[in-house]
């Protein structure tokens, strides 16, 4: 605030207070790269350090450029709701994802985004989710038969392979076999490439392998779009190829291909991350593992689609795991115009970063936030309702995850199979470090020992 003098209507001079933007605190770091390494080491520690020191608004340098950190539920609400239409998801994500995942839904803004999202919505309708449920159930059952028991195994690796199997069968409608294996490898190479630091398209570098993988996947999907459009298939690929707008127009072949490749990426590591976090908290809290197993045992297999709504404890545990270990640590947006937030003016053409890692641990929202306490999500406590943008593992606003219900169903269905079939404990004395970048995951891949349950 500054005090100025201004002539009042009656001619007397009056002192008047006007607001001046406060200067935005800079969080420091090395020249050019700023705090990139801090962020990479632990996004959680990075955000909490700057939040404690500077509060809801600060400016950092990350990867050679200024980033405005807007932390907390009010910031999430302002930016994700985007009432002024000035926050671009496209520009913010494109820098990271365009070369490998062009044309994805998150890489579109405004009317174009609305049109694509509306057309895509059919592939996530109640009826579509119900049909995926049936093929998913069979795929999970087949895969878990081969999980080794009685010896340390890396849970992350097992579950990654499982979710990839599900993706090739349920997303693409490709039966297990050599073609499916090649597709999975191409996809893994692409994801690997998306986090490569050296971005040169040379065949022996991970970036070059990712580009080659993309080219093969593009060919695979492009060759099959016409047949999928004419088919009676119920997989996600067929539903996207067949989707029509009000004027009866389909997505172009190129759009179907790009959406499919983007969706595989958006779905795979996030769901794998969630399942690993749930497995970790259940290994650390065997009493909850037993409670959940009882809940699952009361629902005999094969689980019906309606049964997914009858597992309140699994629901609470999943939400709590997503609170503590949000898969996507940063939601970036590009501000096309300057805007004001909490007394600060953020300039036009700025990169803005939101993070669930702060709002998911704020003590004025969450009781004892460091504690694993799934009942905070029970209806009688509903701590997430204290601010509608406090719990944002799936984002919010128009870009809120379109696959949220698909992912929740998949996690619950896999838990149903896992808990009825196995008990598990950590292979070591304590769980390893959590890595937050690029997607939250156990740094040691979560070594556990599985044991067959007595009940089956």
- Shorter beta-carbon distance to ligand HEM: residue 331 or 413: 331
Q: Which of 27, 89, 355, 409 binds ligand HEM (CB under 6 A)?
A: 89
CB of 201 to ligand HEM, least distance (A): 26
CB of 438 to ligand HEM, least distance (A): 13
Please enumerate in sequence order all residues whose Cβ is within 8 A of that of 117, keeping only pairs 6 or more positions apart, or say none. 105, 398, 402
CB of 156 to ligand HEM, least distance (A): 15
Burial (CB < 10 A; 0-12, 13-18, 19+), residue 453, is: middle
CB of 106 to ligand HEM, least distance (A): 4
**Contacts with ligand HEM in 384-413 (CB under 6 A)?**
393-395, 399, 401-403, 406-407
Q: Contact at 8 Å (CB) between 237 and 262? A: no
Q: Which of 162, 282, 328, 446 binds ligand HEM (CB under 6 A)?
A: 328
Question: 3-class SS at 288?
Answer: helix
CB of 410 to ligand HEM, least distance (A): 7
- Shorter beta-carbon distance to ligand HEM: residue 96 or 144: 96
CB of 36 to ligand HEM, least distance (A): 20
Question: 3-class SS at 302?
Answer: coil
| Residue labelled with tokens 């156990």 | 442
- Shorter beta-carbon distance to ligand HEM: residue 325 or 427: 325
CB of 18 to ligand HEM, least distance (A): 35
Q: Contact at 8 Å (CB) between 140 and 166? A: yes
Question: Burial letters for 246-261: b for 16+ Cβ neighbours within 10 Å, e otherwise?
Answer: eeeebbebebbbbbbb
- Shorter beta-carbon distance to ligand HEM: residue 224 or 239: 239
CA–CA dist 185, 120 (Å, integer): 26
Q: How many residues are given for the chain?
A: 456
Structure tokens, 243: 């989707």
Q: Is residue 359 a contact residue for ligand HEM (CB under 6 A)?
A: no
**Contacts with ligand HEM in 135-194 (CB under 6 A)?**
none
- Shorter beta-carbon distance to ligand HEM: residue 50 or 119: 119
Q: Which of 117, 216, 319, 425 binds ligand HEM (CB under 6 A)?
A: 117
What are the φ and ψ backbone dihedral angles of 252, each rounded to 5 degrees? -65, 160
Helices within 7-125 (DSSP H only):
36-41, 43-54, 73-81, 89-97, 110-120
Question: 3-class SS at 388?
Answer: coil
- Which of 133, 91, 128, 131 minimizes the C-alpha distance to 108? 91
Q: Which of 331, 358, 365, 446 binds ligand HEM (CB under 6 A)?
A: 331
Run of H or E including 339: strand 339-341
Question: 3-class SS at 68?
Answer: strand
CB of 144 to ligand HEM, least distance (A): 20
Q: How many residues bind ligand HEM (CB under 6 A)?
A: 22
- Shorter beta-carbon distance to ligand HEM: residue 162 or 263: 263
Instruction: Indicate the residue whose CB is closest to ligand HEM.
Output: 403
CB of 236 to ligand HEM, least distance (A): 7
**Contacts with ligand HEM in 254-293 (CB under 6 A)?**
263, 266-267, 270-271, 274
CA–CA dist 130, 44 (Å, integer): 36
- Which of 289, 217, 226, 230 minimizes the C-alpha distance to 257? 217
Cis peptide before 302 (omega within 30 of 0): yes
CB of 19 to ligand HEM, least distance (A): 30
Q: Which of 34, 72, 327, 442 binds ligand HEM (CB under 6 A)?
A: 327
Question: 3-class SS at 66?
Answer: strand
**Contacts with ligand HEM in 96-115 (CB under 6 A)?**
105-106
What are the φ and ψ backbone dihedral angles of 226, each rounded to 5 degrees? -60, -45
Q: Where along the sequence are the contacts to ligand HEM (CB under 6 A)?
A: 89, 105-106, 117, 263, 266-267, 270-271, 274, 327-328, 331, 393-395, 399, 401-403, 406-407
């Amino acid at each position: 605030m500054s005090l100025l003098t201004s002539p009042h209507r009656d001619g007397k001079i009056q002192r008047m207070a006007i607001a001046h933007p406060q200067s935005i605190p800079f969080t420091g770091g090395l020249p050019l790269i700023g705090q990139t390494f801090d962020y990479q080491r632990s996004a959680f520690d990075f955000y909490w350090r700057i939040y404690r020191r500077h509060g809801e608004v600060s400016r950092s340098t990350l990867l050679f450029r200024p980033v405005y950190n807007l932390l907390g539920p009010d910031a999430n609400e302002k930016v994700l709701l985007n009432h002024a239409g000035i926050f671009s998801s496209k520009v913010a994500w494109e820098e990271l994802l365009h070369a490998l995942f062009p044309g994805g839904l998150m890489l579109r803004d405004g009317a174009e985004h609305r049109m694509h999202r509306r057309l895509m919505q059919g592939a996530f309708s109640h009826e579509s989710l119900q049909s995926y449920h049936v093929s998913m159930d069979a795929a999970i059952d087949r895969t878990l038969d081969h999980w080794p028991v009685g010896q340390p195994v890396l849970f992350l690796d097992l579950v990654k392979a499982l979710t990839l199997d599900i993706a090739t069968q349920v997303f693409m409608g490709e039966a297990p076999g050599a073609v499916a294996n090649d597709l999975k490898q191409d996809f893994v190479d692409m994801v690997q490439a998306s986090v490569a630091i050296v971005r040169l398209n040379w065949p022996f570098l991970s970036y070059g392998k990712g580009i080659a993988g993309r080219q093969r996947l593009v060919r695979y999907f492009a060759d099959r779009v016409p047949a999928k459009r004419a088919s009676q298939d119920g997989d996600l690929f067929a539903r996207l190829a067949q989707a029509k707008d009000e004027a009866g127009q389909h997505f172009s072949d190129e759009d179907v291909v790009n959406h499919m490749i983007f969706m595989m990426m958006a779905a795979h590591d996030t769901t794998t991350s969630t399942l690993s976090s749930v497995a970790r908290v259940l290994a650390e809290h065997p009493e909850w593992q037993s409670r959940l197993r009882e809940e699952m045992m009361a629902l005999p297999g094969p689980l019906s689609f309606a049964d997914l709504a009858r597992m309140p404890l699994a629901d609470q545990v999943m939400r709590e795991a997503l609170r503590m270990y949000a898969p996507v640590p940063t939601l970036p947006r590009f501000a096309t115009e300057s805007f004001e937030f909490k007394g600060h003016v953020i300039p036009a053409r700025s990169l803005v970063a939101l993070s669930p890692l702060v709002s998911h641990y704020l003590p004025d929202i969450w009781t004892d936030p460091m504690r694993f306490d799934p009942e905070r999500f029970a209806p009688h406590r509903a701590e997430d309702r204290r601010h509608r943008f406090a719990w944002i593992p799936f984002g919010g606003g128009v870009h809120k995850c379109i696959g949220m219900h698909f992912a929740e169903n998949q996690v619950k269905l896999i838990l149903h199979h896992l808990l009825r079939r196995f008990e598990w404990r950590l292979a070591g004395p304590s769980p390893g470090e959590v890595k937050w970048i690029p997607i939250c995951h156990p740094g040691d891949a979560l070594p556990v020992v599985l044991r067959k349950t007595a009940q089956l």
